[in-house]
A and B are shown apart, each in its own frame.
Chain A
Amino acid sequence: NAGVTQTPKFQVLKTGQSMTLQCAQDMNHNSMYWYRQDPGMGLRLIYYSASEGTTDKGEVPNGYNVSRLNKREFSLRLESAAPSQTSVYFCASSEWAGTVGYTFGSGTRLTVV
């Protein structure tokens, strides 16, 4: 009964390095999302995938790219990490976009130095 699984849980990067955050869900949900959460800023949507084969920008997409690999998996890539990308990243899924029964992963704590 895993729900949404994110890897890694923690990561430290140097400025300019790249990395991919992985997310997989086993609930047969159609929609998947990437959020970042910063102190005092709440959850901000980076990218989302309303259904397999589609991706769209959210509120703060700059510096990120995504891939909806298949129905289960949605990855987030930082091509050239910057200190401003230090944050907690949450992946989430829902049966359909706009239906708020989000299930969140446990998060990735990323620090860029």
Chain B
Amino acid sequence: RKEVEQDPGPFNVPEGATVAFNCTYSNSASQSFFWYRQDCRKEPKLLMSVYSSGNEDGRFTAQLNRASQYISLLIRDSKLSDSATYLCVVSASGGSYIPTFGRGTSLIVHP
């Protein structure tokens, strides 16, 4: 089983739709969780951290479910500019452990 798994998609949604991605992780000792965004042929950029209590940043909501070992990203009112690949990142501790990147979920928002 891969350490971090994501549905590659693509998720093809119309503007204004709500879309959600999940990311499952296998290491129960995982402590830190993040979502990155990667545009086509560009470098990944940090989108948001995922906290135990869940967190929201504008149209984006991230949640963590430790019992089932997954994190989620919800995007409301999708914009054309949200089209990208979304990578989840999981780290076992805040020490020297190097985080593991998922392979990404592709989102296409169409008019």
A residues near B (Cβ < 8 Å) are 33, 35, 40-43, 45, 48, 50, 58, 90, 97-102, 104-107
The total number of A-B Cβ pairs within 8 Å is 51
Q: Write out the residue numbers on chain A whose beta carbons fall within 8 Å of the beta carbon of B94.
A: 98-99
Q: Write out the residue numbers on chain A whose beta carbons fall within 8 Å of the beta carbon of B91.
A: 98, 100
Contact B101 A104 (CB under 8 A): no
B residues near A (Cβ < 8 Å) are 8, 32, 34, 36, 42-46, 87, 89, 91, 93-99, 101-104
Q: Write out the residue numbers on chain A whose beta carbons fall within 8 Å of the beta carbon of B43.
A: 90, 104-107
Contact B89 A100 (CB under 8 A): yes
Contact B45 A104 (CB under 8 A): yes
Q: How far is the CB of B45 from chain A (nearest CB, A)?
A: 7
**Which residue of chain B has its CB nearest to the CB of A91?**
B43
Cα-based distance from A43 to B6 in the complex (angstroms): 13
Cα-based distance from A58 to B96 in the complex (angstroms): 13
Q: Write out the residue numbers on chain B whose beta carbons fall within 8 Å of the beta carbon of A45.
A: 98
Cα-based distance from A109 to B104 in the complex (angstroms): 19
Contact A41 B89 (CB under 8 A): no
Cβ-neighbour of B96 out of A50, A100, A106 (below 8 A): A50
Taking A43-B44, A90-B44 as given, write out 14 further A-B residue pairs in contact, using a Cβ cutoff of 8 Å, ordered by the A residue number: A35-B101, A41-B103, A42-B87, A42-B102, A42-B103, A48-B98, A58-B98, A97-B96, A98-B95, A98-B99, A100-B32, A100-B91, A102-B46, A105-B43
Q: How far is the CB of B9 from chain A (nearest CB, A)?
A: 12
